[in-house]
Amino acid sequence: MHPSNKLLAEVSRILPRIAEESSDREEIPETDLLERLVNATGIVVEEAGSALGVVRRLLQALSVLDEARLGTGVWAFVSFPASLLARSVLGGLGEAEFRLLEPGFWNASEYLVDRQRALIKQSEEFRAALPAGLVPIRRVWVSWAWIALDEKFLMVRREDPALFRDGSRGQFVFPGGRVSNEDLPKPVRLTASRCLDFFDPNVEIDPRHIRYAFSQTVRRELREELEISGNAFEAEIPLGEPIHYIALEGAKSAYSATEYHIQPFSVALNDAGKTGLLRCMAAHPERFAWFTSEELAAGVNAAGAKAFVDAIRQGGPALDPDAFTTPIGTASPLKDPIDTPGKPSEPFFVGTTGRERQVHVGLDADEIDLLNWLVAVRRGDDIEELAVGVSIASGTGWVLIEDDHILTGLRTLAAKVDAAGLPLLDFHDRAVRLNAVTPYFSSSSFSMEIQDERRGKSYRLKLSRHRLQSPLGIASVKKASISLPEVLGNAIYSLHQGDLQPALDNIESVKRMQRDIRGFLDSIGARLLVRQIDGVPELAVGR
């Protein structure tokens, strides 16, 4: 038998030729190539035919041969550069030292990941375009924990240091992760072959082993990702059958046609587990993101973070946040909108807009500062500075406090407002948060500027929520602006000048138009621009 490398080198010498600067090219029937190869090497026809078959397939994969002519049994190159590549590769393969990639290219190195991924990705995308479609070459078993708080699901950043990889569907996934060898039942782990079988898409696996691995994985991954101790779990309950999903996906250089088997879990934590979760979110805010059910369906949240959760469209239980809420604290949040006072002389405004009730509580300036700072945290506003021993559990409104004196003061404040019928503060261990779903700032917390842009036809409103300083930290100034239509803009402009009449004349239109800009008002924490007190309109911001 002729050495394979010498055989490939000989094939490179008998390939059709093509001119570099003219249209001249050779077209050689495969039968002639076969005869040439037999004469040049002395091998039997069968061996020569096998060698040419392998070379033909290789050159087809490189797209260097004229497919139309090849269909008639004739070899010809599509271009001069194509012929150079064919001769280069086959000539190189004729030498034992030749490599298409440098030694060490496939090492596990972050420096090489993007090049590895690009090469696999290109090959897999070509393969996926074939009539057979996505045929998996990789199997991944995944345990997901569905954990919700305040109508949103907790998501964690994928295990990839790059913020974005070409071809990735998203940077965030549900807490949990892939089954690893250590999660497999002991009988499976005893041999390398059985471990490899578990991740081979061509091998069927015992369902008992699958269930065991899923359960082990969800606990291990949550201990790692959420830094929750092993004794912090009250229960982890699998939700129905695993979701089966096939996709071109994979972090780092594992991008490929992947067969996913995903088991969602409902997880219950004890108090220690909830504390651990809050502390982890405070220590690693970059690790987490929050998504509503609607945002998960869209694959992106309000902050622009993308989630890779395409598999939920293939099946599994409904994403109802109420069913997967992890309750933290002791009280249900107040559902009524509430405006906190900006200074001691002001009341709380509680209830539906237009029908608010005033609640007076004897709070001093420091207590009001604390409340308003907690409002900013609950709303997700930017915090520019935190006091020593204070941290924020990202996206939850919960503030962790190590200072006993401050914590005692907050409990005293909570008792004051609670006595007035406003259970405004909730506690869990050393954590506190404002216990209201829709909190707003007082009108005195804003400054306002309004400009007549087009001689009474449109107005530019600029609102600024003041910097909020408290013993817990400092919330940054927040600014927003909007163009107002004629009627609403004129009413606000006139009120700002001390003239009530335009607002009185168009009060119903003013009310309706304020509802139309609800999103703008919510973004800065203002309930209204104009409100009526005893039938008299007045500015509700920047007074």
Q: What is the pLDDT of residues 217-249, one digit of tens each?
A: 999 999 999 998 878 888 889 998 999 989 898
Residue 174 pLDDT: 94
Query: At which of 303, 324, 345 does a domain end?
Result: 324
Residues composing the chain: 543
Is the per-residue pLDDT at 162 higher than 70? no
Instruction: List strands edge to edge, sheet with 383-386.
Output: 383-386, 473-475, 468-470
Q: Are residues 65 and 142 in the same domain?
A: no
Number of structural domains (the chain) is: 2
| Residue 193 vs residues 142, 163, 217: alpha-carbon distances, Å | 21, 35, 21
Exposure pattern of 485-496 as b/e (b: 16+ CB <10 Å)?
eebbbbbbbbbe
Domain presence at residue 501? no
Domain presence at residue 252? yes
Q: Are residues 41 and 164 in the same domain?
A: no
CATH number of the domain enclosing 187: 3.90.79.10
The pLDDT tens digits for 383-428 are: 999 999 999 999 999 999 999 999 999 999 999 999 999 999 999 9
Q: Are residues 284 and 167 in the same domain?
A: yes
Q: Are residues 88 and 170 in the same domain?
A: no
Domain presence at residue 523? no
Residue 543 pLDDT: 58
| 196: Cα separation from own chain's centroid | 30
Domain presence at residue 16? yes
Q: Are residues 165 and 281 in the same domain?
A: yes
Residue 230 pLDDT: 79
pTM for the full predicted model: 0.81
Q: Are residues 159 and 277 in the same domain?
A: yes
Q: Report d(CA 164, CA 166) in Å as an integer.
A: 7
pLDDT average, residue stretch 340-362: 91
Residue 328 pLDDT: 94
Q: Are residues 222 and 145 in the same domain?
A: yes
Query: At which of 324, 347, 379 does a domain end?
Result: 324
Query: At which of 324, 357, 392 does a domain end?
Result: 324
pLDDT average, residue stretch 477-495: 89
Domain presence at residue 158? yes
Which residues, 6 or more positions from 132, have their beta carbon under 8 angstroms from its beta carbon? none
Residue 165 pLDDT: 62
Q: Are residues 239 and 162 in the same domain?
A: yes
Q: Are residues 174 and 319 in the same domain?
A: yes
Domain presence at residue 337? no
Tokens representing 443 are 């009108």
Tell me the pLDDT of the chain averaged across its residues: 90
Domain presence at residue 275? yes
Query: What are the beta bridge partners of residue 77?
Result: 65
Domain presence at residue 512? no
79 is in which domain, residue-wise? 4-93
Q: Are residues 17 and 143 in the same domain?
A: no
pLDDT average, residue stretch 122-134: 91
Among 256, 50, 16, which Cα is nearest to 140's?
Answer: 256
**SS3 of residue 500 by DSSP:** coil
Q: Are residues 166 and 292 in the same domain?
A: yes
Residue 77 pLDDT: 95
Q: Are residues 42 and 145 in the same domain?
A: no
